[in-house]
């Protein structure tokens, strides 16, 4: 499958969206932790894993989008 410039732009846009939204989520999660919100350890672990996985997805999509953008 050949990725065109419009596909590359979509992949880069989704990667950027993931970075922006999950950076905000990480900042808010850290602020809640600093305020001392009483949550189970599983809550903090699950949300931290979610943030890390979404940053990895953003990296993969960004890399693929950048390669497609350069080739088109």
How many separate helices (H) and strands (E) can be counted in the chain?
2, 0
Angle at Cα 14 formed by Cα 10 and Cα 19, nearest 5°?
A: 150
The model's pTM is 0.88
Q: Is the pLDDT of residue 20 over 90?
A: yes
Residue 6 has a pLDDT of: 96
**Average confidence (pLDDT) over 29-52:** 96
Structural domain of 9: 5-71
DSSP single-letter state for residue 26: H
Predicted confidence at residue 49, as pLDDT, reads 98
Token pair of 53, please? 């996985």
Name the domain count of the chain. 1
The pLDDT assigned to 72 comes to 84
Rounded-to-integer distance, Cα 46 and Cα 12, Å: 26
């Amino acid at each position: 499958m050949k990725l065109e410039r419009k596909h590359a732009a979509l992949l880069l846009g989704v990667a950027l969206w993931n970075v922006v939204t999950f950076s905000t989520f990480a900042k808010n999660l850290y602020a809640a932790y600093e305020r001392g919100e009483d949550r189970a350890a599983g809550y903090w672990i699950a949300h931290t894993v979610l943030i890390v996985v979404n940053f990895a997805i953003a990296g993969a999509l960004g890399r693929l989008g950048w390669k497609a953008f350069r080739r088109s």
